[in-house]
A and B are shown apart, each in its own frame.
Chain A
Amino acid sequence: QQQVKQSPQSLIVQKGGISIINCAYENTAFDYFPWYQQFPGKGPALLIAIRPDVSEKKEGRFTISFNKSAKQFSLHIMDSQPGDSATYFCAARMWDTGNQFYFGTGTSLTVIP
C-alpha cells in the first residue's frame, strides 16, 4: 500500500513553462514533507521541504504548496529549464516511528529546449 501517492508518472514541459507535480497522503501522523531531485546515476538530493503548519514555501524557482485539509501537496517549478530534467520524489516523514520516510513513486520530468 502506497502511503504517498504521486502524479504524474512523467511530465514533458517546454523551456520557460511551469512544471507541476502532485502528491497526496492519508496518514495524519506525517509531519514533514521534503521533495527530492534525482539525476541518473546519483542519489536523491533534497530540493525543498515544508511542514504542515505552512501553506506555501518558495525557494528560487521552486515552490511547495501544501493543503493540510485535503492532505495534498505539490511542487511547482517556475521557468522550467532543460537542467531541471530529472526524476522528482515527494516524501513524508512519520514522527512517531523513528523518523521513517515514505516516498512517492517518482515523476520523470523532461524540459524541452
Chain B
Amino acid sequence: DAGITQSPRHKVTETGTPVTLRCHQTENHRYMYWYRQDPGHGLRLIHYSYGVKDTDKGEVSDGYSVSRSKTEDFLLTLESATSSQTSVYFCATKPGQGASNQPQHFGDGTRLSIL
C-alpha cells in the first residue's frame, strides 16, 4: 500500500475534550486529506493539504482544524469534541501535479466515539 499509518486506530472520549488524530505517510505524496465516513453519507472531505503549511477546508470542516508542519504528517484536531463527530476518520494521500491522474491512497481509519 501507500505507507499510510493512522493513529490511534480506536479512541473513546467524552464530549468537550480535545482530540488529535495523526496521519503519517512514507510516500512523500504532496496531497493529504482527512475524510469522515458515516452511514448514508459516504466519504466527506473535512480538510486537505496541498503542501507543507498549505491547507484548505472541505465540505464538512466546522469544528475541525488541521496542521501540516512536515510532508509526512497531517494532524486533525477536534478542539472540543461533540457527539456528532462520532465517526470513522480516514486519511488519504495523493502524488502531486506531475501525476494528476493518480488516485488517492487511504489509510485504514480511526474509529472515534464521543460519549
Tell me the A residues contacting B by CB distance below 8 Å: 6, 32, 34, 36, 41-46, 49, 51, 89, 91, 95, 98-106
**Across the A-B interface, how many residue pairs have beta carbons closer than 8 Å?**
57
Tell me the smallest distance from the CB of A35 to a CB of chain B, in Å. 10
| Contact call B41/A49, Cβ cutoff below 8 A | no
Q: Mark B38-53, 1 if CB is under 8 A from A, else 0.
A: 0011111100101000
With contacts A41-B108, A99-B50, A100-B48 taken as known, whether A105 is within 8 angstroms of B42 at the C-beta atoms is yes
Q: What is the 8 Å Cβ interface bit string for chain B, positions 1-38, against chain A (1 contact, 0 not)?
A: 10010000000000000000000000000010101000
Task: Tell me the complex Cα distance, A44–B40, Å.
Answer: 16
Residue pair B42, A106 in contact (C-beta under 8 Å): yes
21 contacting pairs across A/B (C-beta < 8 A):
A32-B101, A34-B104, A36-B106, A41-B109, A43-B4, A43-B109, A44-B106, A46-B103, A46-B104, A46-B105, A51-B101, A99-B48, A99-B94, A100-B45, A100-B48, A100-B58, A103-B43, A104-B42, A105-B41, A105-B42, A106-B42
Task: Determine the chain B residues whose CB is within 8 A of the CB of A42 once the complex forms.
Answer: 108-109
Chain A residues positioned under 8 Å from B41 (CB to CB): 105
**B74 interface residue per 8 A CB criterion:** no
**Most chain B CB within a 10 A radius of its CB, from A89, A99, A104:** A99
